[in-house]
Structure 1
C-alpha cells in the first residue's frame, strides 16, 4: 500500500507542476481589460475537433484514476465508449435516474450562444462530460448558490433558488450549484469563455437564454455583478487542482489552446480588480487558517486545528467519491479528531460561513 500511495502522490505532484509551453503567455503583459484582450489573442483560433470529437478528447482530459469518466455533476463511474461496445456514452435513449448514460454539458448553455454554433459548440474547455439526468435537470439555468434545493445529485450538486445574501446577493431566480470541490473549476471555465469569446459576447447577449443573467453584454467586463462575485469567490475558495491542470494539458494537446486562469490564477484579480478588491474586504476561510497533523501519517486519524467555525467536513478520495461527510463537527479547544480513516490519498474540504478550503491528506 505504501508503494501504491507513493505512486499516486508522485503522479499528482507531476501533474501539479506540469510546464506551461515556453513563451505561451509572453505577450500577456497588461493589466485590467487590456490583459484580458491579450489573453484572448493568445487563445483564439483553436483547433475545432468537432462535436463528436469531444468524446475522444474526454478519454484523456476527463478520466479518473480508475479509468472511468470524470463527471463533475455526479459520483458515477461511467464507462467510456458507445453502448453497443459496452460503454455508457449517450445513445439518445431516455434516462430515469443518474448513472445510466453520460453526454456533453455546455456549461454556458447553447441557448446563450446559438444551438450548434461553432467553435463554441465543441470547445472542450467549457463543454464537459456529464450525467445525462443531471445535465437535463441543470437545463440552461445559471450557476449560483442554492438556498433551498429542489434537486440534489449524488455528489451534492443542487438546483434551487439563488441565495440573495452575501457574495451571491442580487438574484433570486433558479440556479444550479456545483459540488464544493468543483466550484473553482466551474468558475475558471466561465472566465475562459468570457476571454476566448470576448469578441462575440455582445452578439451573444441578444439571446433570451435564462443563463443570460450571468453576463452584462459587454466584451470587457463580461459578467453581471452578482455572478462575477460568485465566480471570483469560488475561484478564491477552491484553488486550481491537479485534476484541472491535467485536463488543461490534455485539451491543449487536442485543441492547441489553454485556459489561462488555470495556468495563472492571479490573472482573475488582475483583470477584475475592482470586484476582487471589494470582495477582499470580506473575510474568507484561507488555507493557512487550518492545520492538519500529522500529515502524512501512518495511522488512521488526523487532527484538524483551526480557530474558525467549521460547518462541514467532507473527505473525498482520488476518484472524486465522498468517503466521509460530517456536518457541524464539534471542536474541542479548536481541535477536531478525524478518525477511522482508510489508507490512501484524500482531499479534505472544510466549509464555514467564510467559504471553503481544501487540504490534501496522505494516510500510509
Structure 2
C-alpha cells in the first residue's frame, strides 16, 4: 500500500530525452504516407503510376493538405467537441510513489502510460489511477493491478507501460482504442493532447500542436505553450489515437516554442504483436482486440521490431494442397467466370483447383455454363468434382464446388426462404444484397478414411465501392448476416455445427461496414491477423484484403504451415508463382482453411477468444440491427415457434440452481442466490444496447407487439425503435451544442438531459437510486417497456398501495391509465404490479446495498404484490430470453414459492 505520493509531476523536458534512434521515413514510405492522408483529407483517388517516384507530386499534395487543414482550422464538425469530451473521460491521472503522470484507458480495465512513469510491476502495485480529476468532475480513485496484466518497454526503446486496473465506477467509460494503421497523421496536421499537466486537473491542448515531422517510431509536434505531460494521449482531428506523449523541449532560450515528441501508436502495436507471437500471454490478450488494419508490412511496422520475421503467425502461402487429415475448405472470387469464358482460362483455373485438392470451395462471380466446362476439364485432370449453385439471375452468381469422392453438399435454399424478409432489407430503396446476390447456404459433410465433419458453408459477395450509399448497403448486409448466424446457432440443427462464412466482402477487416459481422459475439474472423500484417487477397490496382473467412467459435481449425510460419487460415498467392495470373486468371487469390475431424489428434489452430464479461457498448446497438432482430422475432412467432419453451426452461433451471440449497433460508439463501446471480452475469449491456434488446425481442408479447408495464397499452415495436434512435440522435446533437457553448458541465446538466430526452423504457429501480451506474443501468431484468408519459409520471417515486391511503394527508393525483400518485413520495401503477415487484426483488438479490437511502423499498408491499399477482407467461418469456443474453436469471420468476425463505435484509 502507498501512503504518500510525490508531488513531482513527470514531464521530461530537454532534447536529451528524445528517442535516440529516430530514423526518418524513406522517401518512398513518406510519399506513400502523404498519398494515403490525401485520400482521407482531400478525398482524392490517386493514380498509382503517377505517384511512383514522383516527389514533385508529393510536395504539391502535401502543400494542398496543409492549405486545407489551416483554411478549415476554425470550421470543425459540430460533434468535434462532444467526441473530445467522450475521449477525455478515458484519460486519468497516475499517482505513483515517485510522482504524478497521465494515462488513459485502452481497454476495459487496462491503462497505458510511459515506462518512465511506471517502470516496474512493483511500482505499479503501489500506484493508483484517478479518473474524473477535472473541473466539476467526480473523481474515482482506482488501484492498479499489475498482477493481472503488466507490459512495459524501456525508455530507450518505446517508453510505454500497459497495466491492469480496477474497474468499479468506470464501466461505462469507452476506452481509447489502439489502432493498427500507421497512416493516421502526417506533417502539417493538428495534434490534440489530453493531459494532467504538472499533475493539475485535466486539461486539453486543442488545435495547439502542429505535426512537424514523422519518423518511423515517433512524431514531433510544435506548440507555443509548455511541453506536454508524460503519458498523455495524442489524437488527430478525428479523435483517433496517434501517439503516446513521451518528452518535449524548448527550441529557444526564451521558451516561446516547444517541440513535443510522441511514440507512434502503430509502433507500440507492432511491438505488442511481436510480443504476442513470441508467446507473451498479456500481449496476446491485447492484440486480440486491436482495431484497424495496416496497409502494408515493413513501413515502421512489425519488421525491424522483432529479430526473426518467421515468428509471425500471419501467413501467405505460394500454393496449397489438401490433406486427408482435415476437411479442406476455400473461398475464391474468380472474377467474370461466365459462360463466354475462353477455353485456356478454364484450363488454367482447372489446374489451380485440381492442385489445391479442396473438399469444398466457395466460388464468387461465376455462371453455370463456365462451371460445367470447369467440371469437364477437372475430370480430364483426374479430379471428380461437382457443384451446387445459387442463381442470382446475373453474371455474378455463387457456387460451392466439391470433391464428390469425399464430400456431400446440400444446397439449403430453405434458409434463404426462412430469412427472406431479412435478406430483402433495403437502404434508400436499394437492396442490401445487390443484384439478387443473396448468400449461398450449403450444408457440407466431408468424410475421409473413416473420419467425418459436418458444417454449414455460407458464400457471400457484398456490395462494392466506398461511397456512402454502397457502404451503408454493405453495413446492413453485414448486420443481416450477423443476425442470421446468431439465430442459426440457437436452433437444434446448427447449435453444435460449425458455420463458415467466406467470400468477397468488399471491405477491409477494420472497416466500419464489416464491423457488425466481425464483432458478432458468435464468430471469429480468421483473416484479421492477415489484415494486420498487411497481406492481400485482391491484387488489382487498389491492392487490399477484402476477401475474408469468418467462423463460429465452435470451429476446430487445423494449422496451415509455410515453413516455420503457422496460421489458422492461408492466402494462396498463386500470382507470385504463375506468370500473368492477374491478367489471365483473376484479380483475387483463394483463401483456405482446414477443419479438424471430430476426435482427430491433428494439431489445432489457435482459435481463441478472451474470457470474461462481454461488455456491449451502445454503438453496437444500431437502428438497422434492432429492426432486423424485431423482424426475426416476429418471423419466429409467425412460424409458430414457441413463444416460451417450457421444457427447455425447466431443464435450464435445474442446471442453473444446482449449486443452491433450496431447502435453506434466511441470509444464507440470500447470499447463495446473490453469488449465483453475480457469477453468471457474464454479459454486461449498456443502456442503449439493452433498450434495443427490449424492443426487438425480450419484451415482445405473443402477438409480436409490446405492452406498457404501467398502463398495459399496446405499443408498436418498430415505431418505438425508430423513436428511440431519433431521441438518442437529438440527445447527442443537443449535448454537442451545449458543449460548443461551454454549458455541458453546468450544475443540473444531467438532470435536464434526463427530463428533456425520455425513452420508452422504465427502470423499475430508478436510475437516481443507484447513481446511474453500470451494470445496474443496463440490467435487462429490471427494465420494462413503458411509454415515456408514464415513465415521466412515475419518475423516481417509490411504489405504494393506496388501499388505506389518507386523502387529507397528501394530494392524490391520477394519470390516465398510468397509475396513481400521492405528491412526490408515493406511486401505485395501474398494471404490472407483480412484474415490478419481482424485478425489484431481483435487484435486491443481485445488487445488495446499491440502493441509496433507506425507505425507498417497502419489502412487505413487494411481497404482497408478488403473492397477489402471479408470474405471467410474458415474464417467463422475458426471463428465458434474458438468460440467453445476460447469463443470469430471476429466481422470483423461476421459483416464486421460495420468496418467503429469503431474508431480503441480506
2: CA distance, partners of 1:54 / 1:266: 29
Contact 1:80 1:87 in 2 (8 A): no
Indicate the residue corresponding to 2:612 in structure 1. none
2: CA distance, partners of 1:111 / 1:86: 26
Pairing of 1:124-143 with structure 2 (within 5 A): 124-143=780-799
Which consecutive residues of structure 2, in runs of 5 or more, have no partner in the other structure? 1-637, 732-757
1: CA distance, partners of 2:789 / 2:724: 13
1: CA distance, partners of 2:691 / 2:778: 10
Match of 2:763 among 106, 113, 120: 106
Cα displacement string for residues 223-265 of structure 1 (whole angstroms, at most 9, x for unaligned residues)? xxxx111111111111111111111001111101000110001
What do you get for the CA RMSD once the two structures are aligned? 3.2
Cα displacement string for residues 293-336 of structure 1 (whole angstroms, at most 9, x for unaligned residues)? xxxxxxxxxxxxxxxxxxxxxxxxxxxxxxxxxxxxxxxxxxxx
SS state at 1:26 partner: coil
Match of 1:214 among 833, 843, 856: 856
2: CA distance, partners of 1:53 / 1:13: 23
Q: Structure 1's 236 and 204: CA in aligned 2 closer, same or farther, altered over 3 A? A: closer
The yes-or-no answer on 1:174 pairing with 2:174 is no
Indicate the residue corresponding to 1:49 in structure 2. 685
Q: Structure 1's 66 and 239: CA in aligned 2 closer, same or farther, altered over 3 A? A: same
Contact 2:727 2:759 in 1 (8 A): no
Pairing of 1:1-364 with structure 2 (within 5 A): 15=646, 18-21=649-652, 22-29=654-661, 30-45=664-679, 46=681, 47-58=683-694, 59-81=696-718, 91=727, 102-115=759-772, 117-146=773-802, 147=805, 149-154=812-817, 157-160=819-822, 174-180=825-831, 182-198=832-848, 201=849, 204-205=851-852, 207=853, 212-215=854-857, 227-272=858-903
2: CA distance, partners of 1:90 / 1:213: 37
2: CA distance, partners of 1:56 / 1:19: 27
SS state at 2:761 partner: strand
SS state at 2:710 partner: coil
SS state at 1:142 partner: coil
2: CA distance, partners of 1:184 / 1:32: 22
SS state at 1:151 partner: strand
Indicate the residue corresponding to 2:620 in structure 1. none
Q: Structure 1's 52 and 23: CA in aligned 2 closer, same or farther, altered over 3 A? A: same
2: CA distance, partners of 1:213 / 1:254: 32
Q: What displacement does 1:20 show? A: 4.9
2: CA distance, partners of 1:129 / 1:142: 18
Indicate the residue corresponding to 2:411 in structure 1. none
Q: Structure 1's 87 and 20: CA in aligned 2 closer, same or farther, altered over 3 A? A: farther
Cα displacement string for residues 77-136 of structure 1 (whole angstroms, at most 9, x for unaligned residues)? 3232467x8556661679xxxxxx852211111111112x11001001002221111111
Cα displacement string for residues 13-65 of structure 1 (whole angstroms, at most 9, x for unaligned residues)? 85598425132112221311110110111111411121111123212211123
Q: What displacement does 1:184 show? A: 1.3
2: CA distance, partners of 1:245 / 1:41: 22
Q: Structure 1's 71 and 10: CA in aligned 2 closer, same or farther, altered over 3 A? A: same
Which consecutive residues of structure 1, in runs of 5 or more, have no partner in the other structure? 1-6, 95-100, 162-172, 216-226, 275-364
2: CA distance, partners of 1:39 / 1:192: 10
SS state at 1:251 partner: helix
Which entry has the higher C-alpha Rg, 1 or 2? 2
Contact 2:793 2:815 in 1 (8 A): no
2: CA distance, partners of 1:153 / 1:143: 17
SS state at 1:72 partner: coil
Contact 1:134 1:153 in 2 (8 A): no
Question: TM-score, normalised to structure 2's length?
Answer: 0.23
Contact 1:73 1:153 in 2 (8 A): no
Q: Structure 1's 90 and 214: CA in aligned 2 closer, same or farther, altered over 3 A? A: farther
Greater mean alpha carbon deviation, residues 54-63 or residues 250-259? 54-63
SS state at 1:66 partner: coil
Deviating runs (4+, > 4 A) in structure 1? 9-17, 85-90
Contact 1:89 1:102 in 2 (8 A): no
Contact 2:782 2:839 in 1 (8 A): yes
1: CA distance, partners of 2:722 / 2:643: 29
Cα displacement string for residues 196-225 of structure 1 (whole angstroms, at most 9, x for unaligned residues)? 012xx1x543x5xxxx5224xxxxxxxxxx
Contact 1:64 1:70 in 2 (8 A): yes
Contact 1:141 1:174 in 2 (8 A): yes
Contact 2:798 2:856 in 1 (8 A): yes
Contact 1:103 1:129 in 2 (8 A): yes
2: CA distance, partners of 1:90 / 1:160: 33
1: CA distance, partners of 2:677 / 2:645: 24
Larger relative CO (CA 8 A, sep 6+): 1 or 2?
A: 1
Contact 1:80 1:89 in 2 (8 A): no
Q: What displacement does 1:143 show? A: 0.6
Contact 1:82 1:91 in 2 (8 A): no
